[in-house]
Amino acid sequence: MALANTADRYGSLSKTFHWLTALLIITLMPLGLIANDMAYALKSGAETSDAFIARTAWLFSLHKTLGVAVFFVALARIAWAISQPKPGLLHPDRKMESLAAETVHWLLYGSLVVVPLSGWIHHAAASGFAPIWWPFGQNLPLVPKSEALAGAMGGAHWVLTKVLGVALLLHIAGALKHHVIDKDATLRRMWFGRTEVPATTPEHKHAAPITAALALWALALSGGAALGVYAPHGGTAAAELEEVQSDWQVQDGTLGIVVTQLGSEVDGQFADWTAAISFDETVENGVAGAVEVTVSIGSLTLGSVTDQAMGPDFFNTAEFPTATYIADIVPVVDGYEAQGTLTIKGQSMPVTLPFGLSIDGDAASMRGGLTLDRRDFNVGATMADESSLKFAVEVNVALTATRAAAE
């Protein structure tokens, strides 16, 4: 059997690309559905065990890895198709049927590129959860870590997958119609082996099928926008905190955490927190001041696991919307320490935060960090080992503050 196409027949390479793509897609679609159902179970708190999380991550990793394979197979298939003559239609006189078939073919070819690409960009823009198993691809050039971009690409992937699914069903229905009703060689000439086919004339290229496919993609993506599927990850209602007045008023700052899930570090930040600070820099021994920090836990963004982090087994924001840290500020040999009590999820523990401090007149800046053990606060209690989620959680804080004017 010839490797290349002829005017009447598909070559063995085109057939191999066709059936390899079909096998990958038929494998990927149920994998994605099953993995998504398991992810929803995790988010809802219905399942929280290490074993279930590991299975979910494994399925997502398999889905993503095969998706990247589809992307490259599709590119190779398209490049080969461009270089080859395309066997003519067996029924060129059926104009509307031919237009519909060509439109579906364009939808399929395009979807085989944009569906895995949107999923890949979503993976690169998000943080956490299931890695791709290829030795490349965790990040992509020009793709920043962005919850907005991850949400948009996740929504686009969901919409475009539906387009691919419909196009695939129409393609299969058309092939069966040719084989069962028309009883022609349309399906047989895409199978391996020698098949007798009538002579056909080369097809003329028309813009109408491409235009129709582009219009259908645009319509589908617009429908996704109407459904609101492009929103950023997360969306948990956060407790609103009141502004606080203190001797030192925070002007700007960041409060972040780093967790290690499935061997990968995931950075998170709290968007809403307050700090009431009293401090006298002239005190060299003893207590120099005090700080009371309140954190809106629901304002945390933690990559693709944000929703899971808010669930009952983790921060349980429905019952414990805030965390607090009340401490004295004490000068030490190489800087300062905040020595006090941290309360998360109703669990209180003594915690010391070492930090560096720089004061210039009435302006101050500080930076500090520490490592917590999530088990001390009953976070991820069902994860008794570190196979899915490490015990250690890094906390990093930086802020600038100004001294309040004397009354």
Do 223 and 126 share a structural domain? yes
| pLDDT for the residue 189 | 85
Do 287 and 216 share a structural domain? no
Q: Of the residues 198, 227, 256, which one is the last residue of a structural domain?
A: 227
Per the structure block, which two tokens stand in for 42? 């995790």
| pLDDT for the residue 195 | 72
Residue 131 domain flag: yes
Do 213 and 132 share a structural domain? yes
Res. 233: pLDDT tops 70:
no
Do 269 and 187 share a structural domain? no
Least confident of 185-199, 226-240, 274-288, 345-359: 226-240
| pLDDT for the residue 297 | 95
Residue 236 domain flag: no
| Domain total in the chain | 2
Do 252 and 209 share a structural domain? no
pLDDT more than 90, % of the chain: 57
CATH number at residue 205: 1.20.950
| pLDDT for the residue 33 | 93
Ranked by mean pLDDT, which of 146-155, 158-167, 259-268 comes out on top?
158-167
pLDDT band with cut points at 50, 70 and 90 for residue 302: confident
Over range 260-283, report the average pLDDT: 90
DSSP string, 244-304: ---SEEEEEEEEEEEEEETTEEEEEEES-EEEEEEE-TT--SS--EEEEEEEEGGGEEBTB
pLDDT digits (tens, 9 = 90+) for 209-224: 899 999 999 999 999 9
H or E element, residue 60:
helix 50-83
pLDDT digits (tens, 9 = 90+) for 311-320: 888 899 989 9
Do 328 and 188 share a structural domain? no
Do 310 and 221 share a structural domain? no
Between 127 and 354, residue with greater pLDDT: 354
pLDDT digits (tens, 9 = 90+) for 54-100: 888 899 999 999 999 999 999 999 999 889 888 877 777 788 888 89
Cα 341 to Cα 62: distance, rounded to the nearest angstrom:
43
| pLDDT for the residue 202 | 61
pLDDT band with cut points at 50, 70 and 90 for residue 362: very high
Residue 2 domain flag: no
Cα 256 to Cα 395: distance, rounded to the nearest angstrom:
6
Quote the domain boundaries for residue 212.
Answer: 12-227
CATH number at residue 398: 2.40.128.110
DSSP string, 78-123: HHHHHHSPPPPPS-TT-HHHHHHHHHHHHHHHHHHHHHHHHHHHHH
Residue 174 domain flag: yes
pLDDT digits (tens, 9 = 90+) for 379-392: 988 887 888 889 99
Residue 239 domain flag: no
| pLDDT for the residue 299 | 92
Over range 267-295, report the average pLDDT: 94
Global confidence as pTM: 0.76
CB distance 259 to 389 below 8 Å: yes
Do 253 and 388 share a structural domain? yes
| pLDDT for the residue 236 | 56
Q: Of the residues 179, 197, 227, which one is the last residue of a structural domain?
A: 227
Residue 382 domain flag: yes
Residue 63 domain flag: yes
Residue 317 domain flag: yes
